[in-house]
Chain A
Amino acid sequence: MTETHPKPEMASENTIPILVEFTGGLEMLFSDERKHRLSVPSKDDEGNPVNIGWLVKHLCDKVMKDSRKEMFVLDDHVRPGILVLVNDADWELEGEASYALQPNDNILFVSTLHGG
């Protein structure tokens, strides 16, 4: 697995390049790949800028091949025990699901570990 940072790319008019990462075991739900380079539309179906809420649904519907959706999303929210980081900052500091994605954003999903 090669792991590199995304090359700064210019956002085309319709899409935004982002890097989505999974760690703490979540990568197992996403084809065992920690890093996913995605190109997402800049606007959702209603013409609003896409946010993390949209991204979570997109990941669940389009990227995740595992059938255990409940291990990622519960009741339309990221399941308890998963932290979401926007460019290495807790998404709570950035507006949570309403944070509008920017070109070359790094969105990290961390599953809490409990072992010791």
Chain B
Amino acid sequence: MESANASAAALRAKIAATEERLKLLKAQLANIEEKEAEEVEESPVTRKWPLLPDEYKRYGRQMIVPSVGIQGQLRLKDASVLIVGAGGLGCPSSAYLAGAGVGTIGIVDGDIVETSNLHRQILHNSSTVGMKKVDSIVSYLKSLNPHLKYITHPTHLTPQNAAEIVSQYELVLDCTDHPTSRYLISDTCILLQKPLVSASALRRDGQLIVLNSPPLPAGDAKGGPCYRCVFPKPPPTDSVVSCGDGGILGPVVGVMGVLQALEGIKLIVEGRLKEEQEVDGRGNTMLLFSASGSPQFRSLKMRARSSKCVACSGNAELTLEKLPGMDYAVFCGIASPIGILKPEERIEAKEYLELEQDSEKTHVLLDVREKVQFDICSLENSINIPSSSFQGTRSSSLQEGKPSWLPETVRADASIYVICRLGNDSQIVTQKLKEAGLDNNGKRAIKDIRGGLKAWKEQVNPSWPEY
């Protein structure tokens, strides 16, 4: 075992050294290429061309599209776009913007690449796991198109840094994953008069909306609506589902990111980044995508700027001076960890292990994850009744007396232990079972396993598959 560790360490050192060497070689090559490009530019015959020879070849297929042309290409070259979030939306959108030749691309993200990102965040790869997302994404983009300027902001966007970062760009893509960042980005774009392309995705659905376009000053009713016009009040925290909890199909978020890039390219090529008035015939729309819908795409006609909007109306109270003091976490509400049970109503995963091994005592282990998760991995002898099935008012999982899921052979005083993925739903179900009288006035113990299957992996079985 020790010699295996030693040879693994030696290999890791070798790989690190080789990667360093590779980096050096790449830098040398880039240096030479840059000089070559300069020489070409300096040659008196070719000097009048606004693009490099490689750029004519590279962008030719899009330049000959009539709505782009050389004018559109030069606009792309001059343009600067900020992508907030280097994840499932940010990867495809930045790839297409870099491919199209957007001159300056900035990426904001404070996270590092994780293996669970890779099925959809297509610019990261297995060898960049653990790297900062901004570095991973820019290393891909540089190899895709070395002619552009890439700026990394290895931080989360905050009320304190948002204005400074956003002010360096002409267009913003919201590729984030939470209402707090969505309100912050929208507010900042209103204050700095930047158009905003916002997209989101979950499971099999996606949504896309172009906001603040045209980006007219607050109070000008002809400007495009902002995020607050469409969603004046934030959603309740328990209605906000992340991709980590709800799941996401890679191509679904991919399609939304590609559409963001498309909307961005349209705004740039058509010269609408700093447009001063609304062009006739273009209303505000929201695009819905649903992998299982019929039709899959649906365009909705949306409201204009709201005369009551606190960000973009004439009565807006928002200013650049106030922005750093805004607390978006408070505004959107903070999802606090659930702690509804008393300590004696809960047991630790390792305590449950002892119970499980004691064959004298019979008990029931109730796994309340959704069936799709239960099918991936489950504990021996556990019964799966998803927590959602306890929600209905006429729920059969909660009927009076003995519910059908409780095996006939189980004694009336046999304990019930409830487990889920992280230890939140299990508390809610434990409480519901008690409220339904399943504890036989205290004769039967009903307890939740603290920390769920995550704790089980940490305390009991390190080989438990984490998904």
Contacts and interface: CB of A to CB of B under 8 A. Distances in A.
Contact of B294 (A3, A67, A68): A3
A112 B233 CA distance: 12
B200 A112 contact: yes
B301 A116 contact: no
Given A67-B391, A67-B392, A115 B200 contact: yes
B242 A68 contact: no
B199 A115 contact: no
B287 to A, nearest CB: 11
A65 B246 contact: no
Contact of B201 (A23, A108, A113): A113
A80 B300 contact: no
B1 to A, nearest CB: 42
Contacts of B90: 116
B243 interface: yes
B145 interface: no
Interface stretch (B55-63, B73-81, B170-178, B318-326): B170-178
Given A24-B205, A81-B234, A116 B253 contact: yes
Interface in A88-116: 88-90, 92-93, 108, 110-116
Interface residue tally on B, bucketed by range = 35 or more
Interface string B69-107: 000000000000000010111100000000000000000
Contacts of A113: 200-202, 205-207
Contacts of B236: 70-71, 74, 79-81
Nearest to A92: B303
B225 to A, nearest CB: 10
A114 B300 contact: no
Given A113-B202, A113-B207, A115-B177, A25 B246 contact: yes
Contacts of A110: 207, 288, 300
B300 A112 contact: no
Given A88-B299, A116-B253, A80 B205 contact: no
Contacts of A111: 235, 239
A115 B391 contact: no
Interface of B: 85, 87-90, 174-179, 182, 199-203, 205-207, 230-236, 238-243, 246, 248, 253, 256, 286, 288, 290, 292-294, 298-303, 388, 391-395
22 contacts: A3-B294, A23-B205, A24-B207, A34-B292, A67-B392, A74-B236, A81-B231, A81-B233, A81-B234, A81-B236, A81-B240, A83-B230, A83-B300, A110-B207, A111-B235, A114-B241, A115-B246, A116-B85, A116-B87, A116-B90, A116-B176, A116-B243
